[in-house]
Structure 1
Amino acid sequence: MSLLAPPAGLVVLPGAGGDRDQRTLVALERDLADAAPDLRVVRAHFANRDAGRKGPERPAVAVAHVATLVTDLAAELGVPTARIAVGGRSFGGRMASMAVAEGLDVAGLVLLSYPLHPPGRPDTLRTAHLPAITAPTLAVSGERDPFGTPDELRTHLGTITGPTEIVLVPGNHSPADAPVLAAVRSWLLAT
């Protein structure tokens, strides 16, 4: 199920060790610029990168940063945050999902390679907040992702209360960009 209407903007964030120039985020911005020139895409990184730190940002700080990015983009475009989609790759998607679960009103949530758990530790789940998400959600993951198998994704992302679509693509935690871009483009822009 795609969104009811294409959003006015999209904010995307990278995985824990990445920055705004992460390969898939750059490819996504370019792809959407071609497909929907009026859709404003903001590729952002977490504030710790500005301070020269490369490890993951603390969740509370990262979630607040996501909310600020969405609010700022909405203000720039003169629309409510409910017209902005948000998401990211791995840690970036998880932080975006936590912001939405905490009440950030968005058009949709895009989760790329969502990290349900650390590799090899399926009992260390990062899913407690998922039932609080009511926004339409797209999850795109590799079929062999060690951070969550297809069955685990269906089970745990199935607890999201908003409409949810899971797209599995060939690959692992860093699948090829083409099928990821096609899934996101189709979901964001189909009406």
Structure 2
Amino acid sequence: MQHAGMSSLADALAAAKVATLRYQFPYMERGSKRVDSPAVAHAAVRAAVAEARRRLPALPLFAGGRSFGGRMTSQAQAISPLDGVRGLAFVAFPLHPAGAPGVERARHLADVTVPVLFLQGTRDKLAELHLLRSVVETLGPRATLHVVDDADHLFHVRASSGRTDAEVVLELARTMSAWFLAEGAFVRVT
């Protein structure tokens, strides 16, 4: 939750008038390196979504996360829709382990019925771009992929790219806020 990348993205979203609610998975609270089981992680996602709805009930609600958090959010949504969530945004979706390309981690996305936004760097070792493009294609019009040139899994760009990491964070925030606005305007809340 206090990761520099997450903090700077939350600040950039706030500047774009997008409220965010950051939270930690239990394993992070414990200071453990061993990630929580999917059931525990899904429960944390559901609790965070419920808290966001409680705090700001009148605002359109989107869920998502960075890396593991995005994958756990999408799995939770696939199992049972998150209450009131209009769409999911994934920052550096971990499609596969580094050095082991595959799409098995994306199979559950077929069961996600809300719009999804993938923000991915071209140098991300956890998501070979051609594989992620094929996943997005299978999801059809409900999926959007925004590719950040030269960015790695942390959205760090090399100096030779001509951009700074701060500029990339602003790009992510602008892309997310525009997508939230577009999806929030066209998704009906029941």
TM range (shorter): 0.7 to 0.9
TM-score, normalised by the number of residues in structure 1: 0.79
Summarize deviations over 1:139-158 as a string: whole Å, max 9, x none.
Answer: 00001211112211111233
| 1:130-141 aligned within 5 A | 130-141=109-120
* Cα distance change on mapping 1:124 and 1:159 into 2, 3 Å: closer
Q: Which has the higher helix share?
A: 2
Structure 1 runs not aligned, ≥5 long: 1-19
- Amino acid across the alignment from 1:53: S
Cα distance in 2 between the residues matched to 1:124 and 1:131: 12
Q: What amino acid is aligned across from residue 180 of structure 1 in structure 2?
A: L
Whole-angstrom distance in 2 between the partners of 1:93 and 1:162: 19
Instruction: Provide the residue aligned with 1:142 in structure 2.
Output: 121
Runs of 4+ in 1 over 4 A off after TM superposition: none
Question: Do the aligned partners of 1:113 and 1:140 also contact (CA within 8 Å) in 2?
Answer: yes
Match runs of 1:15-94 below 5 Å? 20-36=1-17, 39-79=18-58, 83-94=60-71
* SS of alignment partner, residue 21 of structure 2: strand
Higher-Rg member (1/2): 2
- Tell me by how many angstroms 1:42 deviates: 0.6
* One-letter amino acid matched to 2:109: L
Offset at residue 59 of structure 1 (A): 1.4
d(CA) in 1 for partners of 2:87, 2:120 = 17
When the two chains are superposed, the root-mean-square deviation of aligned CA atoms in Å is 2.0
Change (3 A) 1:166 1:124: closer
| Cα distance in structure 2, aligned partners of 1:184 and 1:24 | 15
| Higher RCO structure (Cα 8 Å, ≥6 apart) | 1
Q: CA–CA distance in 2 between the matches of 1:161 and 1:70?
A: 25
Q: CA deviation at 1:46?
A: 0.4
| CA distance in structure 2 between the aligned counterparts of 1:55 and 1:96, rounded to whole angstroms | 18
TM-score (norm 2): 0.80
Task: State percent identity of aligned pairs.
Answer: 33
**Structure 2: how far apart are the matches of 1:56 and 1:161?**
31
Matched pairs, number: 168
Structure 2 unaligned residues grouped into runs of 5+ = 156-164, 186-190
**What SS class does the counterpart of residue 172 from structure 1 fall into?**
coil
Q: Residue 44 of structure 1: SS of its match in structure 2? A: coil
Give the equivalent residue in structure 1 for 2:176. 184
* CA deviations over 1:57-102 (Å, ceiling 9, x no partner): 221110111011101211222359xx31111111110001111111
